[in-house]
Amino acid sequence: MIGKVEDGKIVPSDSAVSLAKEKSKKNNSTVDKDQFLQLLVAQMKYQDPLEPTSNTEYVSQYATFSELEQMQNMSASLELARASSLVGQTVLMDVTDGEGRTTTVQGNVDYVRYEGNKAFLSINGELYSMDDLNTVADQKYLSAYATAVDFLNAYNKLPVPALLTIDDEEAVKKVNEMYQNMSEYEKKFITDDYVKGLKKLVDRMEELKLADEENKKSEAEKGENVDKTEGTDKTEDGEDTDEDNDSDGDAKTVQ
């Protein structure tokens, strides 16, 4: 009853598209038992009386159809059992809309609804056909995968070691902490190339920090030397002034 409207047209939800696709598939499915019996009766009714079909052939056709029906029912039962086992699991559904665009829906399966020997999964309050099921994953796996993606995104924003500067210290520290705080299971999602690359960045940053500390220390020592030199100059100037004053006093006394 409620739908999103774009350009004056109602845009069906992913769930509605999934259900509509399943309904269309059902309408275009193979002949069911009742339809087969109707066709069989019509065949018997309109057969050539001069060359009638033998009863054995009718029985054979019905037996073949019954066997096929049993196989279909068994397949449907297996699908229903599989759908029931998905309750509480995290799944990924690939839903294709009317324009051929495929979107991925992720969520936990709350319950399963059965309609016409078909199973529909309830995800985030919407129903989706089992045919749209793409992946069943453990929540721990998805969480670890998301953590690894966050780490890689942060890592890829860092410059290469040769272009690293002291201004990148906080960024490198943050990425390193992200990796160190990951569990052993989460670290399995990070390849050795990234681990080695992170170590090079951390080592290079330590070198830059030591160099920066040495520069600051050197600048501080230079500043102290300058202050000492200026203080010495002032002292010498003061002594000269006193000597001049004494000479003046002696000259006055002689007079």
Q: What is the pLDDT of residue 151?
A: 96
In this prediction, residue 185 has a pLDDT band, given cuts at 50, 70 and 90, of: very high
Q: According to the model, what pLDDT value does residue 219 have?
A: 82
Q: Is the pLDDT of residue 254 over 50?
A: no
Q: How far is CA 111 from CA 1, 89, 95, 121, 139, in A?
A: 23, 10, 19, 6, 17
Q: Quick one: pLDDT at residue 253? A: 42
pLDDT (mean) for 133-161: 91
pLDDT value at 13 more than 70: no
pLDDT of residue 251: 43
Give the model's pLDDT for residue 174: 95
Q: Determine the pLDDT at residue 191.
A: 94
Q: What is the mean pLDDT of the chain?
A: 77
Which band of pLDDT confidence, cut at 50, 70 and 90, is reported for residue 39? confident
Q: How far is CA 107 from the centre of its chain?
A: 13
